[in-house]
Amino acid sequence: MSQPETIIEKIWNKHVVHQEEGKPDLLYIDLHLVHEVTSPQAFEGLRMNSRKVRRPDLTFATMDHNVPTIHRNVIKDAVSKKQMETLEENCEEFGVSLADIHHPDQGIVHIIGPELGLTQPGKTIVCGDSHTSTHGAFGAIAFGIGTSEVEHVLSTQTLWQAPPKTMQVKVNGNLGTGVTAKDLILAIIAKFGVRFGSGYIMEYTGEAIREMSMEERMTVCNMSIEAGARAGLISPDEKTVQFVEGRRHAPKGEEFEKAKKEWLALATDEGAVYDSTVEINADEIEPQVSWGTNPSQCVPVSASVPDPETVTDDEDGVRRALEYMGLEPNQPIESIELQHVFIGSCTNARLADLRKAARMIEGRKVHEGIRAMVVPGSFAVKQEAETEGLDRIFTEAGFEWRSAGCSMCLGMNDDIVPPGEHCASTSNRNFEGRQGNGARTHLVSPEMAAVAAVEGHFVDVRNYTSAAERVI
Amino acid sequence: MEAFVRHSGLVYPLNRANIDTDQIIPKQFLKRIERKGFGKFLFYNWRYDDDGNLRDDFSLNYPEYQDASVLVAGENFGCGSSREHAPWAIQDYGFRVVIAPSFADIFYSNCFKNGILPVQLKGEEVSQIMDRAEGGECYLSIDLVDQIVFDGTGWSATFEIDEYHKNMLLNGWDEISVTLTYDDAISAFENQQS
């Protein structure tokens, strides 16, 4: 019998085009997702060198980062407009499929890939965006690249990549009631830090991961980059196969049956050895809220902000973060006053996320002084949510209901948080200025964000009765 | 791409860990479709006040660092997004070398595409440079051939770098041109897949 292998080695080895001493491997790329922000200079490079896109059929583009989420026909920002027009022209010239701002397939690139069935187990997937790790939820090696690499993939469909080190992130036990996938990944990053995954591809394993839906797995893999890992993935199982089956770009009929066998065989073999393993107990994890300016700076909602005087690591960093966030040492998380709530982003803007958030607020009202916004991850998510009536639950509570895009996750469009104001956000980064210059971001799950919108501050969602459970 | 063989220059110390790409170049500058001209936006929210004037309390604006071309920073430099606008801004500002105890993976590989040498030194070596540069004028020489950082006083430190990236920078190669010489291998791989 051959040596047991991890899924990472299996996928990698199947994609090596060329290998030689003293060089990284030349790795074949199966799917290249493109968006308006990190591609213009790459297409320009092709033009300057009279090069073409080698495999337009493996390349798919959309607009997400700076699209307006309201009044889509009038793009006020001339520079954004120019960037979107440039993507249209480039896709036209180089023969790349594009879901533009008015297209029914439009959405955040990491949400539409799985939705359309472009994302499949065993693929190598890249995009000029660090949250490409999201697609790893399907058992794919998916990672973010810079614009020069975008140009390289457009031109050659390959990348020079050193074989990665492998890391197992083993989640023991199960998450408690009311504790989400978002809380798990935040707790992992809080425990092990923002760079423990650097140089690795991580595989998430364990009972809690197996129990998760595909949407929840995407939330976990999405934030691998916040732990420093370019890619994070999960071995495919029946849930993975079921999610992909029937989607537009998925194999059909006999081909699907054949693909299914191959996909399930990708799962890490019993006894395979990783270069490194970390473990966390799921049952000890509580709902999380970030208090600082990187994703490791988060604590359980029942806890307090740390005191720089008593921390054992990065005292200056903690002090600077507290100053930026306008928080006092030892201040209880539940006492932080909020002005904004954002439900959206490639981390948490899928239909399942919106359902969970809606369930918490049905029949309730957004707290006075809070501006709350829902930005569905794609046009399709928006439509399905509207068919179910989720939009009405949100708008009746006082939320704004927007069109699909990255929106307030990074504030490239008009959706920004003003200086000094606090935002409960379902996004992935709480860096200084991320949601707007001087904006103060708190990373949370959709359930926590929804409840915070109603209460005006964070509360333990486990003690919060959802509308469906309330005794009338 | 401009080749990098050796460089000597003034050090600018930025003693913070986890400097993310949103700090290196904020999102409002990612809408441009050019590769050039990002230098003036480097560390924008730290360098400028709300009215767009240079702040006199951010060290990069101090007169003594105006000619700096070697950036020295804390752990995990360049974490966050994949935006190549970050190395574009660093390079356009005038830095040729970034020295740190560790770098984020995507930022690290983006540097090599733009003629910037990222040098990973031990934490204590970075602290030594940081102390000296914060205390007064500090010039360093960085030699990629011999993989060494040194100054005029006899202080030196060696660094690791993989052969591939080293050759790429030393020769200023265009990576795509190199890869296109493997076109037959790529086609053979594609044929075998289909």
CB B105 within 8 A of CB A228: yes
Tell me the fold of A7-277: Aconitase; domain 3 (3.30.499)
Q: How far is A193 from chain B (nearest CA, A)?
A: 11
The radius of gyration of chain B from alpha carbons, rounded to an integer in Å, stands at 18
Tell me the pLDDT tens digit for each residue of A224-254: 999 999 999 999 999 999 999 999 999 999 9
* Nearest chain B alpha carbon to A43: B33
| Chain A hits for B81, Cβ within 8 Å | 129-130, 144
Put simply, whether B109 touches A (Cβ < 8 Å) is yes
The answer to whether A162 faces chain B, any CB pair under 8 Å, is yes
From A387's Cα to the closest Cα of chain B, the distance in A is 34
Q: Could you tell me if B68 and B11 are in contact, meaning their C-beta atoms sit under 8 angstroms apart?
A: yes
What are the structural domain ranges in chain B? 6-193
Residue B114 scores a pLDDT above 80: yes
Q: Is A406 annotated as belonging to a binding site? A: yes
What tokens does A124 get? 């190598």
> Three-class SS of residue A312?
coil
- In chain A, the percentage of residues whose pLDDT exceeds 90 is 95
Q: Find the closest chain A residue to B49 by CA distance.
A: A437
Say whether A129 and B180 touch across the interface (CB within 8 A).
Answer: no
Q: What number is the average pLDDT over the span B111-134?
A: 97
The DSSP string of A378-395 is: BHHHHHHHHHHTHHHHHH
Local confidence band at A472 (pLDDT 50, 70, 90 cut-offs)? very low
Every domain of chain A and the residues it spans: 7-277, 287-463
Task: Read off the pLDDT of each residue in A14-34 and give the average, rounded to a whole number.
Answer: 97
d(CA A123, CA A135): 9
Judge whether A127 is annotated as a binding position: no
The position carrying tokens 């399907």 is: A138
Q: Are strands A371-374 and A400-401 parallel, antiparallel or unpaired?
A: parallel
Judged against a pLDDT cut of 60, whether residue B101 lies above it is answered with yes
User: In the structure encoding, which two tokens stand for residue B111, read together?
Assistant: 């540097």
| CA distance, residue B150 to nearest chain A CA (Å) | 27
Q: How far apart are CA B137 and CA B170, in angstroms?
A: 28
B89 pLDDT above the threshold of 80: yes
Partnered with residue B73 across adjacent β-strands are B14
User: Which chain A residues are within 8 Å of B185, Cβ to Cβ?
Assistant: 17-18, 26
Residues of A in contact with B116 (CB under 8 A): none
Is residue B13 within 8 Å of residue B134, measured between CB atoms? yes
Contact A195 B79 (CB under 8 A): yes
Instruction: Measure the N-to-C terminal CA separation of chain A; round to a whole number of Å.
Output: 62
State chain B's mean pLDDT as an integer: 96
Contact A152 B176 (CB under 8 A): yes
CA angle at A205 for the pair A203 and A209, rounded to the nearest 5°? 115
pLDDT at A467: 64
pLDDT of residue A465: 74
Q: Which residues contact A66 (CB under 8 A, 6 or more apart)?
A: A36, A37, A77, A80, A83, A84, A405, A406, A412, A413, B31
d(CA B50, CA B58): 14
Instruction: Answer whether A315 touches B (CB < 8 Å).
Output: no
> Smallest Cα–Cα separation from A194: which of A314, A296, A279, A322?
A296
DSSP string, A96-158: -EEE-TTSTT-B-HHHHHHHTT---TT-EEEESSGGGGGGGGGS-EEEE--HHHHHHHHHHSE
Q: Confidence band (pLDDT; 50, 70, 90) for B9?
A: very high
Q: Can you give the pLDDT at residue B176?
A: 97
3-state helix, strand, coil in chain A (%, to 5): 35, 15, 45
Residue B29 Cα, gap to closest chain A Cα (Å): 9
From chain B residues 57-96, the ones with a CB under 8 A of any chain A CB are 75-76, 79-84, 87
Q: Is A91 part of any known ligand binding site?
A: no
For the cut 70, the answer to whether the pLDDT of residue A324 exceeds it is yes
Quote the CA–CA distance of A26 and A31 in Å, as a whole number: 15
CB contact (8 A) between residue A156 and residue B22:
no
Q: Please, are residues B75 and B132 in contact by the beta-carbon 8 Å criterion?
A: no
Chain A contact present for B36, CB below 8 A = no
List, as ranges, residues 408-437 from A with C-beta within 8 Å of B. Answer: 410-412, 419, 429, 431-434, 437
Q: What digits encode the pLDDT tens for the residues A181-225? A: 999 999 999 999 999 999 999 999 999 999 999 999 999 999 999
Cα–Cα distances in Å, from A68 out to A71, A80, A326, A382, A403? 7, 9, 30, 15, 8
| A397-430: pLDDT as tens digits | 999 999 999 999 999 999 999 999 999 999 999 9
Query: Which homologous superfamily does the CATH classification assign to the domain defined by B6-193?
Result: Aconitase, domain 4 (3.20.19.10)
pLDDT at A471 (0 to 100) = 52
pLDDT exceeds 80 at position B153 = yes
pLDDT per residue as tens digits for the range B35-82? 999 999 999 999 999 999 999 999 999 999 999 999 999 999 999 999
Looking at residue B175, what DSSP letter applies? H
Q: Which residues of A touch B82 (CB under 8 A)?
A: 38, 128-130, 144-146
Cβ separation B175–A148 shorter than 8 A: yes
Average pLDDT, chain A: 96
In angstroms, the Cα distances linking A227 to A209, B17, B25, B42 are 17, 14, 21, 25
Cα distances (Å, whole numbers) of residue A164 to A28, A119, A148:
15, 21, 20
A353: tokens are 């996320």
ipTM: 0.97
* DSSP collapsed to 3 states, A315-378: HHHHHHHHHHHCCCCCCEHHHCCCCEEEECCCCCCCHHHHHHHHHHHCCCCCCCCCEEEECCCE
- Give A52's contacts (C-beta < 8 A, 6+ positions apart): A46, A94, A155
Superfamily of domain A287-463: Aconitase, domain 3 (3.30.499.10)
Residue A462 confidence (pLDDT) above 60: yes
* pLDDT exceeds cutoff 90 at B91: yes
Calculate what percentage of chain B has a pLDDT beyond 90: 98
Q: Within an 8 Å CB–CB cutoff, is residue A207 touching chain B? A: no
Among A83, A146, A157, beta carbon nearest to B106:
A146
- Cβ A157–B163 below 8 Å, yes or no? no
Q: Compare CB distances from B80 to A130, A146, A230 and report the shortest one's residue.
A: A130
Residues 291-310 of A with CB under 8 A from B: 294
